[in-house]
Chain A
Amino acid sequence: MSAMTDLAIETAALRVEAPGMMTTLQDGGRHGQGHLGVPPSGALDALSLGLANALVGNAPDTGALEITLMGPRLVVEGDGCVVAIAGDAEVLLNDAPVDAFRTLALEVGDVLQVKRLLSGARAYLAVGGGFAAEPFLGSVSTLARAGIGGFAGRALLAGDRLPLAAADLGRERAGLVGEQHLPQREKRPIRVVLGPQAAFFARAKQARFFSAQWRISTLADRMGYRLTGPTLASAKGHNIVSDALMTGSVQIPGDGQPIIAMNDRGTTGGYPKIATVIRADLARLGQMKPGDTLCFEPVEAGHAEQLWRGRQQAFGDYLARLGG
Protein backbone atom coordinates (compact mmCIF):
# COMPACT_ATOMS: atom_id res chain seq x y z
CA MET A 1 0.00 0.00 0.00
CA SER A 2 2.68 2.47 0.95
CA ALA A 3 4.59 1.63 -2.21
CA MET A 4 1.50 2.44 -4.27
CA THR A 5 1.06 5.74 -2.45
CA ASP A 6 4.67 6.60 -3.24
CA LEU A 7 4.05 5.82 -6.88
CA ALA A 8 0.97 7.99 -6.97
CA ILE A 9 2.77 11.07 -5.67
CA GLU A 10 5.91 10.57 -7.73
CA THR A 11 5.84 13.05 -10.60
CA ALA A 12 5.49 11.69 -14.08
CA ALA A 13 8.80 11.85 -15.92
CA LEU A 14 10.93 10.39 -18.67
CA ARG A 15 14.26 9.02 -17.45
CA VAL A 16 17.13 9.23 -19.93
CA GLU A 17 18.91 5.88 -20.33
CA ALA A 18 20.92 7.10 -23.30
CA PRO A 19 20.82 10.72 -24.52
CA GLY A 20 21.34 10.21 -28.27
CA MET A 21 23.76 12.29 -30.31
CA MET A 22 22.42 15.65 -29.21
CA THR A 23 18.94 15.95 -27.74
CA THR A 24 17.70 19.30 -26.42
CA LEU A 25 14.39 20.76 -25.31
CA GLN A 26 13.21 23.28 -27.91
CA ASP A 27 9.98 25.19 -28.39
CA GLY A 28 8.84 27.80 -30.91
CA GLY A 29 11.72 30.06 -29.86
CA ARG A 30 12.71 32.91 -27.57
CA HIS A 31 11.62 35.69 -29.90
CA GLY A 32 11.95 39.42 -29.49
CA GLN A 33 15.04 39.31 -27.23
CA GLY A 34 17.67 40.24 -29.82
CA HIS A 35 18.21 43.64 -28.18
CA LEU A 36 19.52 41.74 -25.14
CA GLY A 37 21.92 39.69 -27.26
CA VAL A 38 19.69 36.65 -26.81
CA PRO A 39 19.09 34.61 -30.00
CA PRO A 40 15.75 32.90 -30.68
CA SER A 41 16.97 29.28 -30.36
CA GLY A 42 13.90 27.05 -30.75
CA ALA A 43 13.26 24.11 -33.06
CA LEU A 44 15.38 24.18 -36.23
CA ASP A 45 12.38 22.59 -37.97
CA ALA A 46 9.45 24.39 -36.35
CA LEU A 47 7.00 22.68 -38.73
CA SER A 48 7.87 19.21 -37.43
CA LEU A 49 7.74 20.52 -33.87
CA GLY A 50 4.19 21.66 -34.59
CA LEU A 51 3.24 18.30 -36.13
CA ALA A 52 4.51 16.37 -33.09
CA ASN A 53 2.69 18.68 -30.68
CA ALA A 54 -0.56 18.52 -32.68
CA LEU A 55 -0.69 14.73 -32.28
CA VAL A 56 -0.57 14.93 -28.48
CA GLY A 57 -2.96 17.88 -28.27
CA ASN A 58 -0.43 20.59 -27.40
CA ALA A 59 -0.17 24.10 -28.84
CA PRO A 60 2.19 23.95 -31.87
CA ASP A 61 5.05 25.85 -30.18
CA THR A 62 5.13 23.77 -26.96
CA GLY A 63 8.59 22.57 -25.91
CA ALA A 64 9.53 19.11 -27.19
CA LEU A 65 12.73 17.08 -27.51
CA GLU A 66 14.73 17.94 -30.63
CA ILE A 67 16.54 14.77 -31.66
CA THR A 68 19.65 14.95 -33.86
CA LEU A 69 20.40 11.98 -36.17
CA MET A 70 20.54 9.38 -33.35
CA GLY A 71 17.88 9.59 -30.68
CA PRO A 72 17.58 8.95 -26.96
CA ARG A 73 16.39 5.89 -25.04
CA LEU A 74 13.77 6.95 -22.47
CA VAL A 75 11.99 5.12 -19.65
CA VAL A 76 8.54 6.18 -18.44
CA GLU A 77 8.39 6.86 -14.68
CA GLY A 78 5.74 7.91 -12.17
CA ASP A 79 2.70 7.80 -14.45
CA GLY A 80 1.75 7.03 -18.02
CA CYS A 81 1.86 9.62 -20.79
CA VAL A 82 1.16 10.04 -24.49
CA VAL A 83 3.96 10.87 -26.88
CA ALA A 84 4.32 11.43 -30.62
CA ILE A 85 7.36 11.71 -32.83
CA ALA A 86 7.49 13.79 -36.01
CA GLY A 87 10.37 12.95 -38.33
CA ASP A 88 11.66 10.17 -40.55
CA ALA A 89 12.63 8.14 -37.50
CA GLU A 90 13.14 4.49 -36.64
CA VAL A 91 11.30 4.17 -33.32
CA LEU A 92 11.21 1.25 -30.87
CA LEU A 93 8.70 0.81 -28.04
CA ASN A 94 9.96 -1.90 -25.68
CA ASP A 95 12.27 -2.98 -28.52
CA ALA A 96 9.40 -3.46 -31.04
CA PRO A 97 9.12 -1.08 -34.03
CA VAL A 98 6.37 1.55 -33.87
CA ASP A 99 5.43 4.33 -36.29
CA ALA A 100 6.37 7.96 -36.10
CA PHE A 101 3.49 10.41 -36.69
CA ARG A 102 1.27 8.35 -34.39
CA THR A 103 0.11 9.13 -30.85
CA LEU A 104 1.45 6.45 -28.51
CA ALA A 105 0.07 5.75 -25.03
CA LEU A 106 2.94 4.77 -22.73
CA GLU A 107 2.75 3.04 -19.33
CA VAL A 108 5.13 3.22 -16.40
CA GLY A 109 8.23 1.19 -17.22
CA ASP A 110 7.83 1.42 -20.99
CA VAL A 111 11.07 2.05 -22.87
CA LEU A 112 10.89 4.33 -25.90
CA GLN A 113 13.88 4.64 -28.19
CA VAL A 114 14.38 6.78 -31.27
CA LYS A 115 17.13 4.71 -32.85
CA ARG A 116 18.08 6.84 -35.81
CA LEU A 117 16.76 9.07 -38.54
CA LEU A 118 16.31 7.61 -42.02
CA SER A 119 16.34 11.03 -43.70
CA GLY A 120 16.75 14.61 -42.55
CA ALA A 121 18.71 15.65 -39.49
CA ARG A 122 16.06 16.16 -36.81
CA ALA A 123 12.96 14.62 -35.29
CA TYR A 124 10.73 15.96 -32.51
CA LEU A 125 9.33 14.03 -29.58
CA ALA A 126 6.36 15.73 -27.93
CA VAL A 127 4.56 14.61 -24.79
CA GLY A 128 0.94 15.35 -23.85
CA GLY A 129 0.88 18.45 -21.64
CA GLY A 130 4.54 19.19 -22.36
CA PHE A 131 7.63 18.97 -20.19
CA ALA A 132 7.98 20.78 -16.87
CA ALA A 133 10.83 23.20 -17.54
CA GLU A 134 11.41 26.73 -16.28
CA PRO A 135 10.94 29.27 -19.09
CA PHE A 136 13.60 31.93 -19.51
CA LEU A 137 12.46 35.14 -21.25
CA GLY A 138 9.27 33.38 -22.26
CA SER A 139 10.74 30.20 -23.74
CA VAL A 140 12.00 26.80 -22.54
CA SER A 141 14.35 26.43 -25.53
CA THR A 142 17.86 25.29 -24.69
CA LEU A 143 20.76 27.59 -25.58
CA ALA A 144 23.63 25.39 -24.44
CA ARG A 145 26.24 28.03 -25.33
CA ALA A 146 24.86 30.31 -22.62
CA GLY A 147 23.58 27.55 -20.33
CA ILE A 148 19.99 28.78 -20.46
CA GLY A 149 16.62 27.10 -20.94
CA GLY A 150 15.84 23.40 -21.32
CA PHE A 151 16.95 20.97 -18.67
CA ALA A 152 19.93 22.49 -16.78
CA GLY A 153 20.68 24.63 -19.85
CA ARG A 154 22.27 21.78 -21.79
CA ALA A 155 21.72 18.75 -24.00
CA LEU A 156 20.38 15.61 -22.30
CA LEU A 157 22.78 13.32 -20.44
CA ALA A 158 22.27 9.71 -19.36
CA GLY A 159 20.57 9.63 -15.96
CA ASP A 160 18.61 12.88 -16.46
CA ARG A 161 15.02 12.80 -15.30
CA LEU A 162 12.73 14.94 -17.44
CA PRO A 163 9.62 15.86 -15.44
CA LEU A 164 6.32 16.22 -17.29
CA ALA A 165 4.07 19.22 -16.77
CA ALA A 166 0.97 17.05 -16.36
CA ALA A 167 0.33 13.41 -15.51
CA ASP A 168 -1.12 11.23 -18.23
CA LEU A 169 -2.72 13.97 -20.28
CA GLY A 170 -4.37 13.36 -23.65
CA ARG A 171 -4.77 9.58 -23.40
CA GLU A 172 -7.95 9.82 -25.51
CA ARG A 173 -5.71 10.75 -28.46
CA ALA A 174 -3.84 7.40 -28.34
CA GLY A 175 -3.71 5.76 -31.77
CA LEU A 176 -4.24 9.04 -33.65
CA VAL A 177 -2.36 8.95 -36.96
CA GLY A 178 -1.05 12.18 -38.47
CA GLU A 179 0.08 13.13 -41.96
CA GLN A 180 3.68 12.09 -42.62
CA HIS A 181 4.88 15.50 -43.61
CA LEU A 182 8.68 15.66 -44.01
CA PRO A 183 10.16 19.02 -45.11
CA GLN A 184 13.30 17.23 -46.39
CA ARG A 185 11.21 15.50 -49.09
CA GLU A 186 10.70 18.81 -50.88
CA LYS A 187 13.50 18.95 -53.46
CA ARG A 188 13.96 22.50 -54.64
CA PRO A 189 16.42 25.34 -54.08
CA ILE A 190 16.47 27.22 -50.79
CA ARG A 191 14.76 30.50 -51.57
CA VAL A 192 16.32 33.77 -50.42
CA VAL A 193 15.78 37.49 -50.73
CA LEU A 194 18.95 39.38 -51.72
CA GLY A 195 20.48 41.70 -49.15
CA PRO A 196 21.06 43.47 -46.88
CA GLN A 197 24.69 43.73 -48.13
CA ALA A 198 24.29 42.16 -51.59
CA ALA A 199 25.87 45.32 -53.05
CA PHE A 200 29.22 44.15 -51.59
CA PHE A 201 29.25 41.50 -54.30
CA ALA A 202 29.64 42.20 -58.01
CA ARG A 203 26.90 40.96 -60.32
CA ALA A 204 29.07 38.06 -61.46
CA LYS A 205 29.58 36.96 -57.85
CA GLN A 206 25.87 37.17 -57.17
CA ALA A 207 25.23 35.06 -60.27
CA ARG A 208 27.79 32.55 -58.98
CA PHE A 209 26.03 32.41 -55.62
CA PHE A 210 22.84 31.33 -57.38
CA SER A 211 24.36 29.01 -59.98
CA ALA A 212 26.64 27.09 -57.59
CA GLN A 213 25.85 23.89 -55.82
CA TRP A 214 26.85 24.30 -52.17
CA ARG A 215 27.75 21.54 -49.78
CA ILE A 216 27.12 21.74 -46.03
CA SER A 217 30.48 21.20 -44.32
CA THR A 218 31.11 19.28 -41.12
CA LEU A 219 30.99 22.65 -39.34
CA ALA A 220 27.22 22.68 -39.08
CA ASP A 221 25.36 22.99 -35.80
CA ARG A 222 22.50 24.89 -34.20
CA MET A 223 24.54 28.11 -34.44
CA GLY A 224 25.18 27.98 -38.16
CA TYR A 225 26.04 25.97 -41.27
CA ARG A 226 29.28 26.56 -43.10
CA LEU A 227 29.02 25.86 -46.83
CA THR A 228 31.73 24.90 -49.28
CA GLY A 229 31.74 25.79 -52.97
CA PRO A 230 33.16 28.52 -55.22
CA THR A 231 34.82 31.46 -53.46
CA LEU A 232 32.71 34.63 -53.29
CA ALA A 233 35.06 37.59 -52.93
CA SER A 234 33.53 40.83 -51.76
CA ALA A 235 34.52 44.00 -53.63
CA LYS A 236 34.28 45.99 -50.38
CA GLY A 237 35.97 43.59 -47.95
CA HIS A 238 34.56 41.06 -45.54
CA ASN A 239 34.31 43.14 -42.39
CA ILE A 240 31.37 45.43 -41.74
CA VAL A 241 30.43 47.36 -38.63
CA SER A 242 28.43 44.74 -36.71
CA ASP A 243 24.85 44.49 -37.85
CA ALA A 244 21.80 42.40 -36.89
CA LEU A 245 21.45 38.78 -38.00
CA MET A 246 18.30 36.82 -38.78
CA THR A 247 18.00 33.05 -38.73
CA GLY A 248 18.87 32.28 -42.34
CA SER A 249 21.19 35.27 -42.89
CA VAL A 250 23.80 34.15 -45.44
CA GLN A 251 27.10 35.71 -44.37
CA ILE A 252 30.27 35.74 -46.47
CA PRO A 253 33.41 35.81 -44.31
CA GLY A 254 36.96 36.43 -45.54
CA ASP A 255 37.46 32.97 -47.04
CA GLY A 256 34.50 33.58 -49.38
CA GLN A 257 32.61 30.50 -48.16
CA PRO A 258 29.07 31.24 -46.95
CA ILE A 259 27.87 30.70 -43.38
CA ILE A 260 24.11 30.45 -42.86
CA ALA A 261 23.14 31.72 -39.41
CA MET A 262 20.84 29.29 -37.60
CA ASN A 263 18.66 29.56 -34.48
CA ASP A 264 21.48 29.68 -31.85
CA ARG A 265 23.41 32.32 -33.87
CA GLY A 266 24.83 35.51 -32.48
CA THR A 267 22.24 38.27 -32.61
CA THR A 268 24.72 40.44 -34.53
CA GLY A 269 27.62 39.74 -36.83
CA GLY A 270 30.40 41.51 -38.67
CA TYR A 271 30.42 39.80 -42.07
CA PRO A 272 28.51 41.11 -45.11
CA LYS A 273 25.28 39.23 -45.79
CA ILE A 274 24.52 38.51 -49.43
CA ALA A 275 20.99 37.20 -48.81
CA THR A 276 18.41 36.05 -46.24
CA VAL A 277 16.52 32.73 -46.37
CA ILE A 278 12.73 33.11 -46.49
CA ARG A 279 10.58 31.88 -43.59
CA ALA A 280 8.83 29.19 -45.62
CA ASP A 281 12.17 27.44 -46.27
CA LEU A 282 13.65 27.57 -42.75
CA ALA A 283 12.16 24.23 -41.65
CA ARG A 284 13.66 22.49 -44.71
CA LEU A 285 17.02 24.16 -44.04
CA GLY A 286 16.77 22.94 -40.44
CA GLN A 287 16.57 19.35 -41.68
CA MET A 288 19.90 19.58 -43.52
CA LYS A 289 23.11 18.01 -42.29
CA PRO A 290 26.83 17.87 -43.17
CA GLY A 291 27.36 16.48 -46.67
CA ASP A 292 23.96 17.61 -47.99
CA THR A 293 24.01 19.88 -51.03
CA LEU A 294 21.81 22.86 -51.77
CA CYS A 295 21.26 25.66 -54.28
CA PHE A 296 19.83 29.12 -53.71
CA GLU A 297 17.06 30.80 -55.69
CA PRO A 298 16.21 34.52 -55.48
CA VAL A 299 12.64 35.62 -54.78
CA GLU A 300 11.01 38.93 -53.87
CA ALA A 301 10.02 39.63 -50.27
CA GLY A 302 6.34 39.95 -51.25
CA HIS A 303 6.37 36.48 -52.78
CA ALA A 304 8.07 35.10 -49.66
CA GLU A 305 5.27 36.59 -47.56
CA GLN A 306 2.63 34.88 -49.72
CA LEU A 307 4.43 31.55 -49.36
CA TRP A 308 4.61 31.93 -45.58
CA ARG A 309 0.95 32.86 -45.21
CA GLY A 310 0.10 29.85 -47.39
CA ARG A 311 2.13 27.57 -45.12
CA GLN A 312 0.48 28.93 -41.99
CA GLN A 313 -2.97 28.52 -43.54
CA ALA A 314 -2.21 24.93 -44.55
CA PHE A 315 -0.99 24.12 -41.05
CA GLY A 316 -4.15 25.60 -39.53
CA ASP A 317 -6.26 23.51 -41.91
CA TYR A 318 -4.34 20.39 -40.92
CA LEU A 319 -4.92 21.08 -37.20
CA ALA A 320 -8.64 21.46 -37.89
CA ARG A 321 -8.71 18.12 -39.78
CA LEU A 322 -6.86 16.45 -36.93
CA GLY A 323 -9.60 17.66 -34.61
CA GLY A 324 -7.52 20.01 -32.40
Chain B
Amino acid sequence: MTPDYTIVALADQGVLIECGERIDLEINRWIDCAANAVREAGIDGVTGIVPTYRSLAIEYDSVSITQATLIDRLEALLSTLTATRRRARRWRVPVAYGGEFGLDFDDFRQRHGLSREELIALHSAPDYRVYMIGFMPGFAYLGGLDTSLHTPRRDSPRTRTPAGSISVGGQQTAVTSVEAPSGWHLLGQTPLATFDARRDPPMLIEAGDSVRFVPIDEAEFARLASDCAWRPDWEWCE
Protein backbone atom coordinates (compact mmCIF):
# COMPACT_ATOMS: atom_id res chain seq x y z
CA MET B 1 0.00 0.00 0.00
CA THR B 2 1.38 3.41 -0.95
CA PRO B 3 -0.27 6.19 1.05
CA ASP B 4 -0.65 9.69 -0.37
CA TYR B 5 2.45 11.60 0.54
CA THR B 6 3.97 14.99 -0.04
CA ILE B 7 7.63 16.00 0.21
CA VAL B 8 8.27 19.35 1.88
CA ALA B 9 11.46 21.28 2.69
CA LEU B 10 12.90 21.45 6.20
CA ALA B 11 14.85 24.52 5.11
CA ASP B 12 18.19 23.38 3.63
CA GLN B 13 18.61 20.83 6.41
CA GLY B 14 16.26 18.10 5.31
CA VAL B 15 13.10 17.07 3.53
CA LEU B 16 9.99 15.62 5.10
CA ILE B 17 7.97 12.87 3.47
CA GLU B 18 4.58 13.50 5.02
CA CYS B 19 1.66 11.06 5.01
CA GLY B 20 -1.16 12.99 6.67
CA GLU B 21 -2.27 13.64 10.17
CA ARG B 22 -3.17 10.40 11.87
CA ILE B 23 -1.84 7.36 13.68
CA ASP B 24 -2.38 4.46 11.32
CA LEU B 25 -0.76 1.04 11.29
CA GLU B 26 -0.56 0.79 7.48
CA ILE B 27 0.99 4.24 7.16
CA ASN B 28 3.49 3.49 9.92
CA ARG B 29 4.48 0.24 8.20
CA TRP B 30 5.01 2.09 4.94
CA ILE B 31 7.18 4.68 6.75
CA ASP B 32 9.25 1.85 8.25
CA CYS B 33 9.65 0.33 4.81
CA ALA B 34 10.54 3.67 3.21
CA ALA B 35 13.10 4.39 5.95
CA ASN B 36 14.82 1.06 5.27
CA ALA B 37 14.80 1.66 1.53
CA VAL B 38 16.39 5.10 1.91
CA ARG B 39 18.98 3.71 4.35
CA GLU B 40 19.87 0.87 1.97
CA ALA B 41 20.05 3.21 -1.05
CA GLY B 42 23.00 4.93 0.66
CA ILE B 43 22.38 8.25 -1.12
CA ASP B 44 25.52 10.37 -0.98
CA GLY B 45 24.93 13.47 1.19
CA VAL B 46 22.14 11.95 3.31
CA THR B 47 23.18 12.40 6.95
CA GLY B 48 20.17 11.15 8.91
CA ILE B 49 16.84 9.36 8.61
CA VAL B 50 14.15 9.99 11.23
CA PRO B 51 10.98 7.90 10.92
CA THR B 52 7.94 8.97 12.97
CA TYR B 53 4.30 7.85 13.21
CA ARG B 54 3.34 9.33 9.89
CA SER B 55 6.35 11.03 8.37
CA LEU B 56 9.95 10.45 7.46
CA ALA B 57 12.57 13.18 7.74
CA ILE B 58 15.68 12.84 5.58
CA GLU B 59 18.58 15.07 6.65
CA TYR B 60 21.19 16.01 4.06
CA ASP B 61 24.18 18.23 3.46
CA SER B 62 23.78 20.54 0.48
CA VAL B 63 27.53 20.56 -0.09
CA SER B 64 27.11 16.95 -1.33
CA ILE B 65 23.60 16.93 -2.84
CA THR B 66 20.99 19.56 -3.69
CA GLN B 67 17.48 19.30 -2.32
CA ALA B 68 16.06 19.11 -5.85
CA THR B 69 18.27 16.12 -6.70
CA LEU B 70 17.51 14.48 -3.35
CA ILE B 71 13.74 14.81 -3.93
CA ASP B 72 14.11 13.27 -7.42
CA ARG B 73 16.05 10.34 -5.95
CA LEU B 74 13.49 9.85 -3.17
CA GLU B 75 10.52 9.95 -5.52
CA ALA B 76 12.12 7.34 -7.75
CA LEU B 77 12.85 5.18 -4.71
CA LEU B 78 9.35 5.51 -3.24
CA SER B 79 7.63 4.73 -6.56
CA THR B 80 9.29 1.31 -6.65
CA LEU B 81 9.05 0.60 -2.94
CA THR B 82 8.41 -3.04 -2.15
CA ALA B 83 7.45 -4.43 1.22
CA THR B 84 10.88 -5.58 2.33
CA ARG B 85 10.74 -5.04 6.02
CA ARG B 86 13.44 -5.49 8.59
CA ARG B 87 12.73 -8.52 10.78
CA ALA B 88 10.94 -6.98 13.73
CA ARG B 89 11.81 -8.24 17.20
CA ARG B 90 9.35 -9.05 19.95
CA TRP B 91 10.25 -7.79 23.40
CA ARG B 92 8.90 -8.89 26.78
CA VAL B 93 9.30 -5.94 29.12
CA PRO B 94 9.02 -6.75 32.86
CA VAL B 95 7.03 -4.10 34.76
CA ALA B 96 6.45 -3.50 38.47
CA TYR B 97 3.09 -1.69 38.57
CA GLY B 98 1.94 0.84 41.17
CA GLY B 99 3.39 2.01 44.47
CA GLU B 100 6.75 3.74 44.23
CA PHE B 101 7.15 2.30 40.71
CA GLY B 102 4.05 4.01 39.33
CA LEU B 103 3.11 7.17 41.19
CA ASP B 104 -0.09 7.71 39.17
CA PHE B 105 -1.25 4.09 39.22
CA ASP B 106 -3.89 4.50 41.97
CA ASP B 107 -5.31 7.79 40.66
CA PHE B 108 -5.36 6.29 37.19
CA ARG B 109 -7.26 3.12 38.14
CA GLN B 110 -9.75 5.08 40.28
CA ARG B 111 -10.36 7.46 37.39
CA HIS B 112 -11.27 4.48 35.21
CA GLY B 113 -13.08 2.55 38.01
CA LEU B 114 -10.70 -0.41 37.81
CA SER B 115 -9.19 -2.71 40.43
CA ARG B 116 -5.43 -3.10 40.60
CA GLU B 117 -5.67 -6.49 38.87
CA GLU B 118 -7.99 -5.20 36.14
CA LEU B 119 -5.72 -2.30 35.23
CA ILE B 120 -2.63 -4.52 35.14
CA ALA B 121 -4.48 -7.07 33.01
CA LEU B 122 -5.72 -4.44 30.54
CA HIS B 123 -2.33 -2.76 30.23
CA SER B 124 -0.26 -5.93 29.92
CA ALA B 125 -2.55 -7.83 27.51
CA PRO B 126 -1.79 -6.29 24.09
CA ASP B 127 1.11 -6.85 21.75
CA TYR B 128 2.05 -3.21 21.32
CA ARG B 129 3.63 -1.93 18.14
CA VAL B 130 6.63 0.40 18.49
CA TYR B 131 5.46 3.21 16.23
CA MET B 132 8.38 5.49 16.83
CA ILE B 133 11.55 6.07 18.83
CA GLY B 134 11.72 9.74 19.62
CA PHE B 135 11.92 12.68 21.96
CA MET B 136 14.64 11.16 24.17
CA PRO B 137 17.34 8.55 23.55
CA GLY B 138 15.54 5.22 23.19
CA PHE B 139 12.07 6.50 24.19
CA ALA B 140 9.62 4.00 22.63
CA TYR B 141 6.12 5.21 21.64
CA LEU B 142 3.73 2.26 21.61
CA GLY B 143 0.43 1.96 19.77
CA GLY B 144 -2.33 -0.46 20.66
CA LEU B 145 -3.39 0.78 24.10
CA ASP B 146 -6.85 -0.49 25.09
CA THR B 147 -9.28 2.34 24.27
CA SER B 148 -10.71 2.18 27.81
CA LEU B 149 -7.29 3.35 29.08
CA HIS B 150 -6.95 6.38 26.78
CA THR B 151 -6.36 9.31 29.16
CA PRO B 152 -5.46 12.95 28.52
CA ARG B 153 -2.02 14.02 29.74
CA ARG B 154 -1.61 15.47 33.21
CA ASP B 155 -2.43 19.19 33.48
CA SER B 156 0.92 19.87 35.02
CA PRO B 157 3.90 17.89 33.72
CA ARG B 158 6.39 16.46 36.21
CA THR B 159 9.85 17.94 35.81
CA ARG B 160 11.51 14.58 36.52
CA THR B 161 10.31 11.04 35.92
CA PRO B 162 12.57 8.04 36.43
CA ALA B 163 14.29 6.08 33.66
CA GLY B 164 12.31 2.96 32.80
CA SER B 165 8.93 4.55 33.55
CA ILE B 166 5.97 2.87 31.87
CA SER B 167 3.45 5.60 31.24
CA VAL B 168 0.22 6.51 29.45
CA GLY B 169 -0.39 9.76 27.52
CA GLY B 170 -3.52 10.15 25.40
CA GLN B 171 -3.96 7.05 23.25
CA GLN B 172 -0.35 5.97 23.66
CA THR B 173 1.73 4.14 26.18
CA ALA B 174 5.52 4.26 26.34
CA VAL B 175 8.70 2.70 27.63
CA THR B 176 10.87 5.58 28.71
CA SER B 177 14.62 5.22 28.71
CA VAL B 178 16.21 8.11 30.59
CA GLU B 179 15.12 10.39 33.40
CA ALA B 180 13.02 13.12 31.81
CA PRO B 181 10.26 15.67 32.31
CA SER B 182 6.88 14.18 31.39
CA GLY B 183 3.17 14.95 31.49
CA TRP B 184 2.24 11.29 31.06
CA HIS B 185 0.67 9.12 33.78
CA LEU B 186 3.20 6.85 35.49
CA LEU B 187 1.80 3.33 35.88
CA GLY B 188 4.94 1.36 36.59
CA GLN B 189 8.62 0.91 35.99
CA THR B 190 10.81 -1.65 34.24
CA PRO B 191 14.20 -2.72 35.56
CA LEU B 192 15.19 -3.46 31.97
CA ALA B 193 17.76 -0.90 30.84
CA THR B 194 16.36 -0.22 27.37
CA PHE B 195 19.06 2.43 26.99
CA ASP B 196 22.59 2.23 28.39
CA ALA B 197 25.26 4.44 26.86
CA ARG B 198 28.02 2.07 28.07
CA ARG B 199 26.54 -0.96 26.33
CA ASP B 200 26.78 -2.07 22.72
CA PRO B 201 24.17 -1.66 21.39
CA PRO B 202 23.03 1.17 23.67
CA MET B 203 19.38 0.90 22.56
CA LEU B 204 17.36 -2.29 22.62
CA ILE B 205 13.98 -1.43 21.13
CA GLU B 206 13.59 -0.16 17.56
CA ALA B 207 10.68 1.26 15.59
CA GLY B 208 8.66 -1.59 14.10
CA ASP B 209 9.41 -3.97 16.99
CA SER B 210 6.64 -5.21 19.28
CA VAL B 211 6.43 -5.05 23.06
CA ARG B 212 4.43 -7.03 25.60
CA PHE B 213 4.50 -6.11 29.28
CA VAL B 214 5.14 -8.84 31.87
CA PRO B 215 3.91 -7.89 35.37
CA ILE B 216 6.47 -8.53 38.12
CA ASP B 217 6.53 -7.86 41.86
CA GLU B 218 8.86 -5.74 43.95
CA ALA B 219 11.25 -8.58 44.80
CA GLU B 220 11.55 -9.56 41.14
CA PHE B 221 12.18 -5.92 40.25
CA ALA B 222 15.06 -5.74 42.75
CA ARG B 223 16.55 -8.98 41.47
CA LEU B 224 16.32 -7.97 37.82
CA ALA B 225 17.55 -4.45 38.49
CA SER B 226 20.88 -5.77 39.78
CA ASP B 227 20.90 -8.56 37.21
CA CYS B 228 20.15 -6.51 34.11
CA ALA B 229 22.89 -3.97 34.65
CA TRP B 230 25.51 -4.15 31.90
CA ARG B 231 23.90 -6.98 30.02
CA PRO B 232 22.25 -6.53 26.67
CA ASP B 233 19.05 -8.13 28.02
CA TRP B 234 18.64 -10.26 24.92
CA GLU B 235 16.81 -12.85 26.99
CA TRP B 236 13.85 -10.48 26.98
CA CYS B 237 13.75 -10.73 23.21
CA GLU B 238 11.66 -13.65 21.96
Interface centre among A34, A307, A312 (most CB of B within 10 A): A34
Q: Residue on A with the closest CB to B56?
A: A244
Query: Which chain B positions have C-beta within 8 A of A243?
Result: 16, 18, 52-55, 57
A244 interface neighbour in B50, B67, B137, B177, Cβ under 8 Å: B50
Task: Provide the A28-61 mask, 1 if CB < 8 A to any CB of B, else 0.
Answer: 0001111111100000000000000000000000
Query: Which chain A positions have C-beta within 8 A of B59?
Result: 31-32, 34, 246
Query: Which chain B positions have C-beta within 8 A of A148?
Result: 137, 197
Question: Is A147 close to B, CB under 8 A?
Answer: yes
Query: Which chain A positions have C-beta within 8 A of B68?
Result: 302
Query: Which chain A positions have C-beta within 8 A of B52?
Result: 241-244, 268
Interface centre among A268, A280, A302 (most CB of B within 10 A): A268
Cα distance A278–B206 in the bound complex, in angstroms = 30
Query: Which chain A positions have C-beta within 8 A of B12?
Result: 193, 278-280, 301, 304-305, 307-308
Q: Are A276 and B54 in contact (CB under 8 A)?
A: no
Q: Are B10 and A195 in contact (CB under 8 A)?
A: yes
Question: Is A247 close to B, CB under 8 A?
Answer: yes
- Residue tally, chain A, CB below 8 Å to B: 47
Contacts A32-B47, A35-B49, A302-B67 given; indicate if A246 touches B178 (C-beta within 8 A).
Answer: no
- Interface stretch, picked from B91-99, B128-136, B223-231, is B128-136
Cα distance A308–B136 in the bound complex, in angstroms = 29
Question: Is A72 close to B, CB under 8 A?
Answer: no
Query: Which chain A positions have C-beta within 8 A of B49?
Result: 32, 34-35
Cα distance A308–B138 in the bound complex, in angstroms = 32
B141 interface neighbour in A153, A242, A276, Cβ under 8 Å: A242
Q: How many A-B residue pairs have CB under 8 A?
A: 154
Q: Residue on A with the closest CB to B58?
A: A244
Q: Are B10 and A276 in contact (CB under 8 A)?
A: yes
Contacts A32-B48, A145-B180, A243-B54 given; indicate if A308 touches B133 (C-beta within 8 A).
Answer: no
Query: Which chain A positions have C-beta within 8 A of B1?
Result: none
Query: Which chain B positions have C-beta within 8 A of A137?
Result: 202
Q: Are B132 and A304 in contact (CB under 8 A)?
A: no
Q: Are B63 and A308 in contact (CB under 8 A)?
A: yes
Task: Provide the A267-284 mask, 1 if CB < 8 A to any CB of B, else 0.
Answer: 111000001111110000
Q: Residue on A with the closest CB to B62?
A: A305
Q: Are A276 and B135 in contact (CB under 8 A)?
A: no
Q: Are A244 and B16 in contact (CB under 8 A)?
A: yes
Cα distance A196–B14 in the bound complex, in angstroms = 11
Contacts A35-B50, A308-B62, A308-B63 given; indicate if A241 touches B10 (C-beta within 8 A).
Answer: no
A36 interface neighbour in B8, B47, B137, Cβ under 8 Å: B137
Q: Which residues 171-193 of B sit at the A interface, judged by CB distance below 8 A?
A: 177-178, 180
Q: Which residues 231-246 of A sit at the B interface, judged by CB distance below 8 A?
A: 240-244, 246
Q: Are A276 and B9 in contact (CB under 8 A)?
A: yes
Question: Is B235 close to A, CB under 8 A?
Answer: no
Please list the residues of chain A having a beta carbon within 8 angstroms of any beta carbon in chain B. 31-38, 136-137, 143, 145-148, 153, 192-193, 195-196, 240-244, 246-249, 266-269, 275-280, 301-302, 304-305, 307-309, 312
Given contacts A241-B23, A278-B12, 7 further A-B contacts (CB under 8 A): A34-B57, A35-B35, A136-B202, A195-B8, A195-B16, A244-B55, A276-B10
Give the top 4 A-B pairs by smallest Cβ distance, nearest first. Answer: A268-B134, A244-B57, A304-B12, A34-B50
